[in-house]
Amino acid sequence: MSTSFPATTDFGAQNLLCCRSNTGVPNTYATNPVIHHNMTRDLPADIWYPYIPPQLARYNISLSEFISAHPDYPYLVVGALILRNNHQTDETEILLLKRASTDFCPNVWEPPGGSVDAEDESILHAIVREVWEETGLRITGYGAGRVVRDNAGEEYHRRRSKEKEEEFTEVTFLGKRGEKWCKFNFLVEVQPDEIGELRVELDEMEHQDVGWFDEDAVKRLPFVSEQGREIVLNAMRS
């Protein structure tokens, strides 16, 4: 599966404010406020799910269907890679969230994402839900049908059926109790507000900060894992 990507959505010229995190890494924020809340954010009634390109049809399955085909991986996670072009620097930037100080793996940065639930209609529906819950943003597209992986950790699962052989591109890792997890990372596009900005709303129980980072900054951030950092860098370079 190719890792090349077309140009990502350009959200238009924005009035930006440069700040610094406590790590000393430049952090570019939109000037609109970031709202913190500590309650469950249910999907709105008018949420809609983007068109699924043929390249991603294999991910349009439920958690139970995936586990049935891949019993070695009972836990499934999705990650959302949201990119933009900074007109002031002409650099590609990625949206990252800083984990809460009270959570597992505290005070490190990661893309939005989380577990696929049994109630999710499909893996792709799960990424729409997770992005909404963690940022308040709505996904409008699945990044031209590509899944991002890191070069070192990529693995392939093939499921044979009477009709065809399906291939999943994934990253695997161990959880805090030694359990085996599988993660799919999707390049996605999100909807800006009426003035072209992205209004991010954080759940303070999960994340404490948010920012846009260029490639150089990503290399220096405290990241949730080196594998996760490579996935982000691959998406930004493609």
Q: Is residue 103 part of a domain?
A: yes
Task: Name the residue among 234, 221, 228, 207 with its Cα closest to residue 97.
Answer: 207
| 134/151: higher pLDDT | 134
pLDDT digits (tens, 9 = 90+) for 140-192: 998 755 566 654 444 444 444 444 444 455 677 666 677 788 889 999 999 98
Q: Is residue 48 part of a domain?
A: no
Q: Is residue 1 part of a domain?
A: no
Q: Is residue 58 part of a domain?
A: yes
What integer is the mean pLDDT of 108-129?
A: 96
Contacts of 129 (CB under 8 A, 6+ apart): 43, 117, 120
Q: Is residue 132 part of a domain?
A: yes
3 state SS for the chain: CCCCCCCCCCCCCCCEEEEECCCCCEEEEECCCCEEECCCCCCCCCCCCCCCCHHHHHHCCCHHHHHHHCCCCCEEEEEEEEEEEECCCCEEEEEEEEECCCCCCCCCEECCEEECCCCCCCHHHHHHHHHHHHHCCCEEECHHHCEECCCCCEEEEEEECCCCEEEEEEEEEECCCCCEEEEEEEEEEECCCCCCCCCCEEECCCEEEEEEECHHHHHHCCECCHHHHHHHHHHHHC
pTM of the model: 0.79
Are 50 and 60 spatial neighbours (Cβ–Cβ below 8 Å)?
no
Kindly tell me if the per-residue pLDDT of 96 is higher than 90.
yes
Q: Is residue 44 part of a domain?
A: no
Q: What are the CA-CA distances from residue 150 to residues 21, 58, 185 (Å)?
A: 26, 20, 10
Q: Is residue 46 part of a domain?
A: no
- What integer best gives the mean pLDDT of the chain? 77
Q: Can you give the CATH number for the domain in which 22 is found? A: 3.90.79.10
Kindly tell me if the per-residue pLDDT of 98 is higher than 50.
yes
pLDDT digits (tens, 9 = 90+) for 54-81: 888 889 999 999 999 888 888 899 999 9
Domain count, the chain: 1
Q: Is residue 40 part of a domain?
A: no
Where in the sequence is the domain holding 113, given as residue range(s)?
16-35+53-237
